[in-house]
Structure 1
Amino acid sequence: MSGSGGFSTRALHDGQEPDPTTGSVVVPIFATSTFAQDGVGGLRAGYEYARTGNPTRTALETTLASLEGARHARAFASGMAAEDALLRGVLRPGDHVLIPLDAYGGTYRLISTVYADWGVEYTAVDTADPDAVRAAVRPTTRVLWCETPTNPLLGIADIAALGGLAREHDLLLVVDNTFASPYLQTPIALGAHAVVHSTTKYLGGHSDVVGGAVVTDDAELDATLGRMQNGMGAVPSPFDAFLTQRGLKTLAVRMERHSDNAERVADALAAHPAVTAVLYPGRADHPGHEVAAKQMRRFGGMVSARVAGGEEAARAFCAATRVFTLAESLGGVESLVEHPGAMTHASAAGSLLEVPADLVRLSVGLEDVEDLVDDVRQALDALK
């Protein structure tokens, strides 16, 4: 039934037909490094070596493509491996990339060090402002990199507007859809050429597996990604693919609960005098609220806030939470809190992408929302 049905139906069935040999309703973990051939070059079902392809990974890739409304997907060992494969496949020395002003710290580190050393240039620009993006385009610009919502400031970019701009200037529009997940938005339908994910986050959803993916409707780009995937070898293990696939089965119900809880936590933060700003696109006072409401189903589980008292207060808040665990990463079933300036975005310190020192980022999980709200309040009260 590939490609048909609603989101949850596709998450549970696309790429996951019962095993023809045993009838298993769950895709098996094909824990093998190689595959028997029926004569030289006679491949059974197209598999020869597990770096090149594995049935468990194929099932995951099929589901990912379906959920993003695309024809192709490639799974990788991490989100950064996925980004590297895409950039390495399309960029050459002398090319130019546009990135968000508050791009994920790992993305910034990859482009500003690895690719800059290779001769690739980049400009950080406010992707929420199409005019600013257009003004930053150079004759050598090849890629327009977008996050929406951004990490960690929850900025919103108009994907359709950027898609039109990308077509106008012959740019490759890449959207990092990690914060939203394909349940909340599908960038390819809005004009993106490729979507990247850290599948470690909401897609896996349980803080127990690291992975990444690139999804596209472009067959030529997918072929390039396939060469990068096989040639560079940063592929997920069959067990990692299995865990990520398992997470996808509950993505829709999890994202609804994440969104429900995040809305309540954002309201609790906004009501507290120790908070100077709440960054959540679901709030009417968010500058990107109208765009987010247009292109997203709901507003997700990520909330950031600025705390009165600067960096010392922000660190103290992170240390005072009891239900929210102080840890990097996001998108798991449990709630996490972090200080981006000293943790996930430390690599951006001293650059245009440096995040405010008074900023805290919360990944709102699936616990009882009353416990989450009480925890936020008591941690803020402790700052007095």
Structure 2
Amino acid sequence: MTTDRKTLVRRTPWPHSASRPVGTPIQPSVVYAAADPDALDAQYEGRTQGYAYAREGHPNADVLASMIDGLEGAEGGLITGSGMAAVAAVLLGVCRTGDHVLGGDQLYGRSLRMMREDLPRMGIAIDLVDPTDAAAVAAAIRPETRMMLVEVVSNPTLRVADMEGIARVCADRGVLLVVDNTFTTPRGYRPFDQGADIVIHSVTKLLAGHSDATLGYVAARDPELQAAIRVFAITTGMTPSPFDCWLAERGLYSFPLRYDRAEANAARLADHLAGLPGVRRVLYPTRPDHPDHNRARALLGDRGGHMVSFEVEGGRAAANRLTRGAPQLAFAPTLGDVGTTLSHPPSSSHRGLTPEARAALGITEGFFRVSVGVEEIDLLLADFTEAIAAAHG
């Protein structure tokens, strides 16, 4: 028996078809073959479109980036291997030794860690300010301030930033405004339309929406800034997986439907929780008792988002009983899944803070954050009624 060695050591050409696939193919290839050195030069010099090495870009990442670009009103966005990779690409790809960076004082936990511990090691000074107070932001700006990183709705207390005031201050003082739009998404808020210079997403969360892909996204209004971010991401290997990009693309097709359903559920859940005995407070941006209710209405309209936070009486003991008493509610430090997830910031995202620092933010041992999913609302309300009852049983 003989074997044609060519079938073992040579790549089989992709079959030609006069029709095209409806579903996007996954392209896992790490390398791409060019016709000759001149053709490769043409690619790298931008005279032709093509791929050479997957760390520098691949088709699945570009398809996903173009879809998110369309949602955000951006051009040339970049997909990274995680949301924190996108944050790092901005902070480290744009800032230099001697720069000063401002951040909201309730950013995502790892963003706070990078600002507090990593940037100072590189000679970049930082200050954290209250994003609900544009005057405080203005007062913190120095001549060397390079950028301000802010989330429209903070994690986990759902405070609403004074985006109009911050955008005005940053524009007047020549400071780059960087918006992490993960919580609000372009369905709820479009930062570029409101003066942002750079937009970041953890695609892992609502955009992908199924807890099975880890990705980030970043786009800059200025092409030179975008080029600097892209080069840094390529150099440091922030490459996204083609398979994860394919999964996120699939998830993105249902994103508007998922977002609207989860948002409607969140509003109902917030009102329901507020009426349950043993619940000390409920935080949801469009509720009249939210501390930033008027700003939320002005900035977001009736788009309260899919996140709800609440506090139960009884501290850590009640918190333990709550999670154990409702195992059907996934207790997991994530958000944006099709199913509802429950997070306890004191033991997860904000465990690195002292109890005093958490208390200053209003995060007690009985504090929970809920990423509301698309379940039938009656089922969801029953689940939380059971969970709260267990907390005080």
TM-score normalized by structure 2?
Answer: 0.89
What is the alpha-carbon distance in structure 2 between the residues aligned to residue 164 and residue 20 of structure 1? 53
Aligned with 1:167: secondary structure?
helix
Q: CA deviation at 1:351?
A: 7.5
Ranges in structure 1 where 5+ consecutive residues have no aligned partner: 1-18
What is the alpha-carbon distance in structure 2 between the residues aligned to residue 255 and residue 261 of structure 1? 10
Q: 2:37 corresponds to which residue?
A: 40
**AA matched with 1:49:** Y
Q: CA deviation at 1:108?
A: 0.7
CA contact (8 A) 1:318 1:360 kept: no
What is the alpha-carbon distance in structure 1 between the residues aligned to residue 54 and residue 354 of structure 2? 40
What is the alpha-carbon distance in structure 1 between the residues aligned to residue 281 and residue 37 of structure 2? 65
**AA matched with 2:379:** D
Q: CA deviation at 1:352?
A: 4.4
What is the alpha-carbon distance in structure 2 between the residues aligned to residue 226 and residue 105 of structure 1? 24
Q: 2:327 corresponds to which residue?
A: 322
Aligned with 2:55: secondary structure?
coil
Q: CA deviation at 1:328?
A: 1.2
Q: 2:13 corresponds to which residue?
A: none
Q: 1:56 corresponds to which residue?
A: 60
Q: CA deviation at 1:27?
A: 2.1
Matched, 1:212 2:234: no
Matched, 1:274 2:278: yes
CA contact (8 A) 2:319 2:391 kept: no
Matched, 1:312 2:338: no
What is the alpha-carbon distance in structure 2 between the residues aligned to residue 22 and residue 117 of structure 1? 55
Q: 1:6 corresponds to which residue?
A: none
5 Å matches for 1:1-384?
Answer: 22-43=19-40, 45-296=49-300, 298-349=303-354, 352=357, 355-384=363-392
CA contact (8 A) 2:54 2:239 kept: no
Q: CA deviation at 1:93?
A: 2.2
Moved more, 259-268 or 304-313: 304-313
C-alpha change, 1:345 and 1:275, in structure 2 (3 Å) is same
How many correspondences in the alignment? 366
What is the alpha-carbon distance in structure 2 between the residues aligned to residue 291 and residue 342 of structure 1? 30
CA contact (8 A) 1:105 1:345 kept: yes
Ranges in structure 2 where 5+ consecutive residues have no aligned partner: 1-15, 41-47
What is the alpha-carbon distance in structure 1 between the residues aligned to residue 151 and residue 157 of structure 2? 11
What is the alpha-carbon distance in structure 2 between the residues aligned to residue 270 and residue 105 of structure 1? 27
What is the alpha-carbon distance in structure 1 between the residues aligned to residue 354 and residue 77 of structure 2? 34
What is the alpha-carbon distance in structure 2 between the residues aligned to residue 23 and residue 216 of structure 1? 33
What is the alpha-carbon distance in structure 1 between the residues aligned to residue 334 and residue 253 of structure 2? 21
What is the alpha-carbon distance in structure 2 between the residues aligned to residue 192 and residue 351 of structure 1? 33
RMSD: 1.8
Q: CA deviation at 1:53?
A: 1.3
Which digits, 9 at most, give the CA deviation of each residue in 1:27-66, with x for residues without a partner? Answer: 2111101111121141473211111111111111111111
CA contact (8 A) 2:311 2:367 kept: yes
TM-score normalized by structure 1?
Answer: 0.91
Which digits, 9 at most, give the CA deviation of each residue in 1:256-300, with x for residues without a partner? Answer: 001011011101111112111111102121122222223326111
What is the alpha-carbon distance in structure 2 between the residues aligned to residue 147 and residue 315 of structure 1? 29
What is the alpha-carbon distance in structure 2 between the residues aligned to residue 164 and residue 120 of structure 1? 24
What is the alpha-carbon distance in structure 2 between the residues aligned to residue 351 and residue 193 of structure 1? 34
C-alpha change, 1:29 and 1:258, in structure 2 (3 Å) is same
Q: CA deviation at 1:173?
A: 0.7
What is the alpha-carbon distance in structure 2 between the residues aligned to residue 102 and residue 339 of structure 1? 15
Q: CA deviation at 1:85?
A: 0.7
What is the alpha-carbon distance in structure 1 between the residues aligned to residue 268 and residue 297 of structure 2? 18
**AA matched with 2:290:** H
Aligned with 1:111: secondary structure?
helix
Which digits, 9 at most, give the CA deviation of each residue in 1:111-131, with x for residues without a partner? Answer: 111212222222221101111
Moved more, 35-44 or 299-308: 35-44
What is the alpha-carbon distance in structure 2 between the residues aligned to residue 126 and residue 110 of structure 1? 18
**AA matched with 2:115:** I
**AA matched with 2:306:** G
What is the alpha-carbon distance in structure 2 between the residues aligned to residue 247 and residue 20 of structure 1? 27
C-alpha change, 1:279 and 1:98, in structure 2 (3 Å) is same
Moved more, 111-120 or 266-275: 111-120
What is the alpha-carbon distance in structure 2 between the residues aligned to residue 343 and residue 89 of structure 1? 28
CA contact (8 A) 2:119 2:126 kept: no
Q: CA deviation at 1:134?
A: 1.1
Q: CA deviation at 1:21?
A: 6.5
**AA matched with 1:342:** S
CA contact (8 A) 2:342 2:370 kept: yes
What is the alpha-carbon distance in structure 2 between the residues aligned to residue 163 and residue 180 of structure 1? 17
How many percent identity over aligned positions?
38
